[in-house]
Structure formats: C-alpha cells, structure tokens
Structure 1
C-alpha cells in the first residue's frame, strides 16, 4: 500500500505544482554585464499587451548579486532581481524620449500604473485578454516600468514557496517549503512562488532604494543603448509615495552625474550619465509636515460639498496635529534627530528609527478619522466603500500561465504585495522624514521640469496638501510661481480637464473628477499633461513653447476653491475575488466565505455582473485563484479551468471588527 501511495503522492504534488506555480521561464536572453562580476540582465520579447504592429517590448530582470550597492554606502547582503517591462514608442522609437514609471506604496507594483493607468493595454473583465489603450503614454515616448524596491511586484530576492490569505487584513505571504503537502487553494487562499518576505532583503527607505535603482539604470542602459535618448535626458513619472521616490531618485541621479563629470566616481563601467529632463508626480505624498493638515480639511471642506466628517471630528483631528507633543511635534523631533544622527536617511540609527517610526504611526490620528467615520473610499472621496474602480483585473491577468510564460517571470503576482518593503520602510520611519522639498528646489533650479498633478477627489495624497507643497518649495522663483494665476487645462477643443498654475519649468495641476490614479479616471487629461510637459509645451494649452521662455507664467484665478462640483457618483459593486477586501461588500464577502458565491473569471456572479459581462454566465471562466487560469493568448482565446480549487473560503465568520481591521490595513499601506 505504501509503495503505491508514494508515487501517487508525488504525482499529485507535481500536478498541483503545475496548477499553482509559474511555468519555468523559457527563451530568455541573458547578458552578463561588464560593470561588475555577477551582474547580469535577462529579458525576452513578450508579445503581449502592446499589440500595435511593429512596436517592440521587452520584459525581464536586472540581477544584482550581494555587495553591488555597497559602493554607495548601503550594506547589501542579498540578491536583487528587479523586474522591468519596456515598451517602444508607437511613433519613431529611435528618436523618442524615454520615461521611467514607478508606483509608490511603499511596496506598490508599477504593474498598477502599466495595466490600470497609462500603459499600452487595458485588461478586459476576463482577466485574460486585453484591448489597446488609446491614451497610452508610449504613443510618443519610450516607456520603462520598474518594480522597485526589491520584493515588490514581480521583483524578488530569492524564490520561496508560500501561501497568501486574501482575507487576512495584513495581506502577508506566509512562506512554506511544502515538504510534505501542498495546500489546496480556493478563491481567496492562494498558493505560489514568492520573494522570501525577509525585511532585510529589501531597501529600508527611499534613500537606499535610490541607490539600487541607479545601479539598475547603469546595467539597463548598457544593454539597451539604442533606447537612451541622444541627449542622455530621461524623465521620471511616479505616483503617491512616489512623492518621496521621484524627488529623491532624481536628485541622486543628478548628484551621481556630477561625480562622474568631475571624476570623483571611478567605478569601472558605471559612467552612464542619466540626466533628468522632467519629473512628474501624480498625487504625491511629498512632505508630511506640510501635507498633514490637509487630511481633515479634505474630509470636512472639499470642492465636492462632501462633509465626510463632522466639525467635532475635524477639530479633534486638527488638534492631534497642532497640540503640544502632537503629531507636528513628533515629525519635527524625527527630523531633528535624523539631521544629527542619520543625515543620509540610511536607516542605520536605532534612536532615529524609533522616533521616526513613532511619528509615522501617530499620523493616523490625523489621517485616520476619515477612514473610521466616513464610509467613503480612501482614494476617491466621491465613492462609497467598497469601490471597484479602477478594476483589479490586472491581478488575475498577471497570474495567467500564458502571461507568466510570456514575461518569463518565476514568481506569482500578489496584491497586496511588497509587504516586506512596506514593513522595512515602517521600521525606519521613512514617511515622516524630510528632504524632498529641498530635492525639488535643487531640481527646479537646475533646469529640470517638475510637474505636480493631483486628482481632486483623492484623499490619500490630496490636492490641498499637494498645492501646499507646491507653494512651500523654496527655489529661485518661489514668489513668481505663487504669483502666477490658475489657467484652464484645455484638453481638447471642447473639454477643460482642470486648472494649472505654471511658472517656467514648474507646474501644479488640479485635475477635475479624478481620484488617486489620475490616468485611470481622466486618461486624456493625464496624457496631455504628460505629453506637454515632456515636449516643452505649456500645460494649459499645449500650444506655447516653454523651453526658451523661463519666465512663462499662467494667468487666472489666484486659487481654485471657487471651482466646485457637487455631483456625486454611484457604482455597482463588482466583487473581484483576488481583491476581496477592497471590492466586495460585507454580504458578498460572506457568500465567498460560506461557499455560496459563484465566481467566474474571479468576478462574483450576480444580476448586475451577468448583465455587464454576459460571458460570465457561459461557464468558461476561471473559478479559482491566481495561477489557475487557463491558457489562451492576448486576443482573448482560451478559457480558465479552475484547477484544483474549492469555491469556498475558510469556514470563518466575517465580523464587523474584522471588516474594520481589513479596511484599516488596506489604507495603512498607502499608497499606489
């Protein structure tokens, strides 16, 4: 009996492995770098998402062995495998500018930006096929999307098997070697291959992430020199916690360029100038000391007439910030200690880390009352929770075996993911630390264009705080910028997409009717702002050259508070099983948990979704977790098999307390 059982067990384990885990990467080109021993890049042409004839794309990894980043003062005893997905411009790629995109978090994958916001394709509701995005940012620009820091998205240190319970408020991946058994997955319990989740195998803050990214760029441009613009100038566009990343990364790149130019940087081969042309920040959390008071303000007094908290709650939140020993004091204490004990913000001083981490936690007393009292979405104040927009179909898409094979990725995509990076940043208190206003000043005064873009329905990094930051940037034309008026952003001949204040190479845009991910809500407006900034055109009209007019200034309103809109939105709840806590109602969650829900293509089937998506009713969709989807191709053929999957989740109750924990955990990892 035992002799029969053993081979059957191995057969079952092998079958389960083929259903849960990514296929082994094939047809991957690997190039050893000349920069340093052990450094390499691997890539392939996926042939998916961007299906415009003749337009190439490359996906792969830059591999940095332990010790590579040590030359920049960072102790790196782990491997860094950074995922990228590059798309040629649809127009004249050999002469097109290059822009790098990364999302925020900390811990948010740039696949969010690529597949939910501004990439070449939109994912269809089947989580298996795509349509071309008319307003893709690679229409006229070569686009490079990077998952960073290490262990975020499809980037990893070392491969490890494990599980993820999507109903766990933390979203944490639990590592398991599966030496005796591979657990059975269901609609909300996933099995797969992931990064190790070790906190010390990821960057512990913005400064150290910048150093790893600079090494990535050196390797990437060595391998793909044809896509480096002739003038060596590239752009960085980022979002949310990218309000930290963008200024810090851009400033660090400029500092490295200066070292290369004056001969103080002597590492062999690492001498590629990466000169910044434009820094774009979308709904960025840049400086918490400046932006923190905007949270109660946005909740209580916004341009949509939504009183999400009452006056008593508003006053209490403001008092938490201003009172003696309050949040403002804690942030200032963190920064004072960092200036003395950790001026480079490397996270290597325990006293500074403790003070800054404590200040980070305390910000919840100012930002949290909206979450606890409003019932509204963290990323869109006009929407009631749970809000299914933008759709999360990209999660299932990235876990389709044919997509994993096309990209050559050896790990499963998880959402939420990047928790190791998030926790590492939390431990050093990266959020309340300063320096990013100074970075912006440095960049603007060095001729780099800076475009701040804020959707006016976002709470997470709201426009009120963004405007305050724009006015707090202390550079050579601070007063000229403040004196410029707000002009309409004329997106086309019939639509005004927002208001912009611009002086020379610095602009602040408030985009109407847009939440946190502006390109998802207002794709044409976001595209036009992006295009105009890169091609030296004024943001308001796109008709005036600004490169040779350093004193160009918009005229109009002194502020935008008089421009209000009291219209609200209502969306039906499309419950997506791979993002249950952010898209499903309490009732829908109960039905998933007790097994009564019918899930097709990861979507809970009800009257609304059957009407919206007739294909859900034909029985061909996926009925399970990521990694179990059927084959098919990017045009949408093929169907999901569901694999070895239970319909029900674990037999547990969803209490109100657990729901609140999930809600808090969902927003605590702000932001995309």
Structure 2
C-alpha cells in the first residue's frame, strides 16, 4: 500500500506526457475502417505560462518517415483552419461531395497527398483559428510578426517532443495569406538556429502557392491579368492604364476619370469566381457547386463524435468556423511587404518553390512573377512547359537563388482546383528533380 502514491504519480506523469505529445487518431467518423496512415493531433502551449494552445494535425509520411522531409503547412486568411489544406488541397483524406442528409458526411482517401513523400504538420494559427485557443483573454492583438514568433516557438517545442524528426529536412509551406508569414518565419528560424543552446531546426527551404506578397501591387496586377484573360476590352484597358497610372484600387477621390473606369472594370469582373475564373460563382450550399464540400465540412467537424475523435479540448472553443479572422477577430497585418524576407532567405541559400494557379484573380501570376523578377537573380533555366505524361501541366522557370517558379495550368487560388498536378509538381521538386 505504501507504493500506491508513487504508482499514482507515475501514472499521472505518463498521462500528462501522452497528452503533451499528442494523441494518435486511428479512426475518424465518416471514414470506413481504420485510417490507412498515422494521424496525431494535439496542442502545443506557447509562452511562459503556455496560455496559448496551438492545435495541430500531424501525418507521417507513407514512404519513409524517418528520413523524408518534415513540412509545416499554414493555411491563409489570416485565420483559416489548416484542415482546409488537409481535406481539400494536399492531404490523404477528402470529403465526399454527397448531398447532406443529416448524418456525418463521408470521407474518402485521395491519390494526391503530399504525405506520400513527406511528413506534414497542419497547424491552426493564429489563436482562434480552427481549434487553437487561449486560456485567458488576449492582451495583445494577434499580428503577422507575433505569429511568426509563436510558430517558431511551436516548432521548437513540437520537435522537442518529437526528437526523432529533428534531423529531417524541414520546409515551411502554405498558400494565400501565408505568403506574408512563411518568408518571415523562414528568416526567424534561420536566425534562431544560431542562438546558443537550442537544437537547430534543419531548415532547407519553403513552398508557397499563390502567395500574397505585397498586397497593393498584387491587387494592381488584376487589371493586366483581366485584360490578358479577355475579361475587359482593349479600350477599357488602355483608358484605365492612362488615367489611373498603375494605381487602380487606392484611387485619389479627385481622379474622377479613374474612378469611373474602375467602376467599369468591376462591372466586368464582379460576377466572376475570383478564386478561379473558370469555375462558376455559386452558392456553396448547392450540391452542384464545386466547393460544396466546404459546406459539408462545417457539419463534419462540428459533430461531437468527430471532435472527440480528434481529441479537441471540449472547453476550448464553441462552433468551429473555417475562417475566423476575416469577420470577427481583430488582427494586425503588420507585414505589408514580404519581398525583403524573400531577399534575405535567398541570400541565406534556402531553396524555394513558388507556384501559381494561372486562373487566380485574387493573386494573379503576373504579380508573383513581378516580385520574383524584382529580386534580380539570373535565370538558370528559361521558361518552359512542365509535363505530366504527354500533356502540359503548366510552365516553369528557375533562378540562381535556388527559387523555382511554376504555374499550374487551369488552377486557381489554392491547390484544390488541380490537386493531382500540384502533387506531382511538389513531389518532383521536393525530391530535387526538375519539374
């Protein structure tokens, strides 16, 4: 009987250690049978008191997890849950597009998961995004620079709890608004690796899809993109160029000619699906809509059985929302231009893959090409098509700063529009091969 307290203490230690390190998920409601891959979910506490709890989904590589690269995936927004990447862009599961009937929506396996060749951490950030939360009221408004430091701390703590992945090549990745966070994060990790007494992160590079980089410039390139895609007439294009002088969306109220022309531009484009101009602009609650699975996602992830299976802290969050910061949570966008971070990361010698769906109106490929050109690195491999079998899947170019730019033909703002092509592009690049 005297040994009982010691046994209880040991048991508590084991339980606490298990919770801190994450919990293995073997089954998910909506998916038949055990998961055909290893999924871990959990929280990592940030700050001295660890009041900020960042939620993650970790999926081991299906090939060789001990040696394959470790990726961190951040969804955009800011404030969109990373499970949108997992279930819609590059994960091993997807929601089956079937009319909602009141039961838990179904999940199916995918053929295009990046986890076939990489370990991936899908991270919900900032605080309030997905299942990440704070135990106490926030004192400071979440911000770009604040999130960079939080994510860096997350990675350090996650790797200390998963030391078997410390030597794996590490890549930061994401799309859309992550274009403001990932380059700064790479620089932060790079600097942190030189600080004494902390195990270095084996940083090798980064990957960004349709990244927001310099919002005003990104936005202005919508005009030449729209002209090139035959969305506006030659006459309107020439007039708007002449009278707006390259500034189309932050117009001086006194420039009435420009304002009128911009109004004409909106008449031509406002009814488009700006995320992919080839796709219908329709209500996601319609089963005929390409994005109907987003509607199903809300029902799936808010089901109590799903949240239990994912080991979500019951007291942490109410109704899950796909993107929170766009509507109701304050956020300080204090990085307005991420080009200097790209420059610093290039100087430091990190590899990068920057890809653009070529039918995205939100961040047109022309804007991405422009800031890459502004880095002023020489071209190593000239513009050429990259192929899948005997078909052109997009176009690519490589630069002397180890940066590869690629378009994905027919794709939009995120990889979900062409997941198979994006997967093949990623698989070739991460393996060090030409696209």
Match of 1:468 among 370, 383, 391: 370
Q: Which runs of 5+ in 2 are unaligned?
A: 1-13, 253-260, 284-288
1:210 and 1:248 in contact (8 A); partners too:
yes
> Structure 1 residues 502, 378: CA separation in 2 closer, same or farther (over 3 Å shift)?
same
1:456 and 1:463 in contact (8 A); partners too:
yes
1:109 and 1:418 in contact (8 A); partners too:
no
Larger deviation: 389-398 or 108-117? 389-398
Following superposition, the deviation at residue 223 of structure 1 comes to 0.8
Match of 1:119 among 91, 98, 110: 91
Match of 2:205 among 260, 271, 278: 278
Which residue in the other structure is 1:443 paired with? 345
Q: How does 1:57-96 map to 2 (within 5 A)?
A: 57-65=39-47, 79-96=51-68
Secondary structure at 1:386 match in 2: coil
Which residue in the other structure is 1:154 paired with? 131
Which residue in the other structure is 1:479 paired with? 378
Q: How does 1:399-438 map to 2 (within 5 A)?
A: 399-409=302-312, 410=314, 411=317, 412-419=319-326, 423-425=330-332, 429-430=333-334, 433-434=336-337, 436-438=338-340
Q: Which runs of 5+ in 1 are unaligned?
A: 1-27, 33-39, 69-78, 160-195, 330-364, 540-672
Secondary structure at 2:410 match in 1: coil
Following superposition, the deviation at residue 320 of structure 1 comes to 5.0
Aligned equivalents of 1:396 and 1:366: distance in 2? 39
Following superposition, the deviation at residue 41 of structure 1 comes to 2.9
Is residue 185 of structure 2 the alignment partner of residue 255 of structure 1?
no
1:241 and 1:285 in contact (8 A); partners too:
yes
Following superposition, the deviation at residue 323 of structure 1 comes to 6.2
Is residue 147 of structure 2 the alignment partner of residue 209 of structure 1?
yes
Which residue in the other structure is 2:3 paired with? none
Q: Give me the CA root mean square deviation.
A: 3.2
> Structure 1 residues 367, 508: CA separation in 2 closer, same or farther (over 3 Å shift)?
farther
Following superposition, the deviation at residue 156 of structure 1 comes to 1.0
Match of 1:534 among 414, 430, 433: 430
Aligned equivalents of 2:91 and 2:159: distance in 1? 21
Following superposition, the deviation at residue 367 of structure 1 comes to 11
Match of 2:180 among 244, 249, 272: 244
Following superposition, the deviation at residue 310 of structure 1 comes to 8.1
Aligned equivalents of 1:532 and 1:320: distance in 2? 42
> Structure 1 residues 98, 367: CA separation in 2 closer, same or farther (over 3 Å shift)?
farther
Which residue in the other structure is 1:295 paired with? 222
Which residue in the other structure is 1:46 paired with? 25
Which residue in the other structure is 2:279 paired with? 383
Regions of 4+ moved over 6 Å? 50-54, 365-368
Aligned equivalents of 1:316 and 1:210: distance in 2? 38
Match of 1:136 among 93, 113, 120: 113
1:29 and 1:42 in contact (8 A); partners too:
no
TM-score normalised by structure 1 residue count: 0.54
Following superposition, the deviation at residue 29 of structure 1 comes to 5.1
Which residue in the other structure is 1:102 paired with? 74
> Structure 1 residues 442, 368: CA separation in 2 closer, same or farther (over 3 Å shift)?
farther
1:321 and 1:328 in contact (8 A); partners too:
no
Is residue 298 of structure 2 the alignment partner of residue 395 of structure 1?
yes
> Structure 1 residues 442, 421: CA separation in 2 closer, same or farther (over 3 Å shift)?
farther
Q: Report the count of equivalent residues.
A: 395
> Structure 1 residues 31, 316: CA separation in 2 closer, same or farther (over 3 Å shift)?
farther
> Structure 1 residues 494, 255: CA separation in 2 closer, same or farther (over 3 Å shift)?
same
2:71 and 2:121 in contact (8 A); partners too:
yes
